[in-house]
Amino acid sequence: MGLSKLQNLYMAVVTEHSKAPHHYGKVEGETISLHNPTCGDVIFLSLKYDQDVISDIAFEGHGCSISVASSSMMTDLVLHKTKQEALELAHIFSEMVQGQQDDRQKALGDAAFLAGVSKFPQRIKCATLSWNALTEVLSEE
């Protein structure tokens, strides 16, 4: 796929998720909030579990298109995953947006489109805000 087609696809996916985010709202369950002081993005992430599996997940807050799109992609990806699987996906995502590349990133689905964020260090915090919230809430248990 040519570079311009890939860039267009990236823009389309990010725009879709930021304008109509999936799992936007709140679910009854554990809630955590994180704030990015650099740009002012705020996320409230709420999760519900069925034993060790994330049975429901949602987010609220405000932020840039990358922050909202990343949150939407993350909620799609980790829904119905075990806590350990979700933590592993968060780890893969974190490595990816810091510029590391490997085959495990195929597991990220739409979130793999955010790999280009690694070229813009000031945007990494935007892309990882919801993933960091997920890691924090899952690591507390």
pLDDT, tens digit, for every residue of 74-124?
999 999 999 999 999 999 999 999 999 889 999 999 999 899 888 888 889
- Per DSSP, the three-state class of 54 is strand
**How confident is the model at residue 37, as a pLDDT?**
81
Taking the C-alpha atoms of residue 108 and residue 91, their distance in angstroms, rounded to an integer, is 11
Q: Please, what are the domains in the chain? A: 3-139 (3.90.1010.10)
Q: Is a pLDDT exceeding 60 seen at residue 1?
A: no
Can you read off the two tokens belonging to residue 56?
């429901």
Pick the more confident residue, 122 or 26.
26
**How confident is the model at residue 141, as a pLDDT?**
59
Return the bridge partners of 59, or none.
Answer: 24, 45
**How confident is the model at residue 133, as a pLDDT?**
96
Are 118 and 124 within 8 A, CB to CB? Answer: yes
Closest to 42 measured CA to CA, from 124, 125, 114: 125
Are 13 and 110 within 8 A, CB to CB? Answer: yes
E strand or H helix at 42: strand 42-50
> Which of 52-56, 117-121, 135-139 has the least mean pLDDT?
117-121
Are 75 and 109 within 8 A, CB to CB? Answer: no
**How confident is the model at residue 9, as a pLDDT?**
62
Taking the C-alpha atoms of residue 77 and residue 71, their distance in angstroms, rounded to an integer, is 10
pLDDT, tens digit, for every residue of 5-16?
556 666 788 889
